[in-house]
Amino acid sequence: LYVNSGSAIVSGGSLMLSGQAGTAINFCFKYPSFIMHAGALSGAAVSGQFFIYSLVKEYGALILACCMNLRQVISILVSYILYVHPISFMQVLGLGLVFGALFYKTYDGYANPKPKASKVADGVQPQEIGKASDAEAGKPGPQE
């Protein structure tokens, strides 16, 4: 929400400062389908951000990286098929090498997770919220 709001403020401000706000509004009135297309594009961007944040929250960044790699591969292949672009052997080899390395990196990170560094000092355990420490509870501590 804050990123999108900030982007709207920067865009609106730049239109105002450049003196092009009137031209932009006239364009919108002249081509009303532009507003529908821009709205659909904005809605798709917002829903994409929602799914990205949800995916990271539920499954982690490695799964997001794998999904994004897969999305790029599918996008490239669909473009070749849909627009009947000729593809050379070197392009196939390049796609295979780049995306193979990306998929391997994602798989390796998922298969061999690195242990997280502990933020707790040696021998000191975090205190539970609402639980009194030994000194507050009247129990003798190591200093007494």
Of 101, 108, 41, 42, which is closest to residue 72 (Cα–Cα)? 101
Given this model, what pLDDT does residue 10 score? 94
46: Cα separation from own chain's centroid: 12
**Span between the terminal Cα atoms of the chain, in Å:** 54
Q: Which helix (H) or strand (E) holds 79?
A: helix 61-82
Per-position pLDDT tens, the chain of length 144: 677 788 889 999 999 999 999 999 999 999 999 999 999 998 998 898 889 989 999 988 878 887 888 888 889 889 989 998 888 899 889 888 988 888 788 788 778 877 766 555 556 666 666 655 555 555 555 554
CB 144 within 8 A of CB 96: no
Structure tokens at 36: 């529908």
CB 106 within 8 A of CB 69: yes
Given this model, what pLDDT does residue 65 score? 82
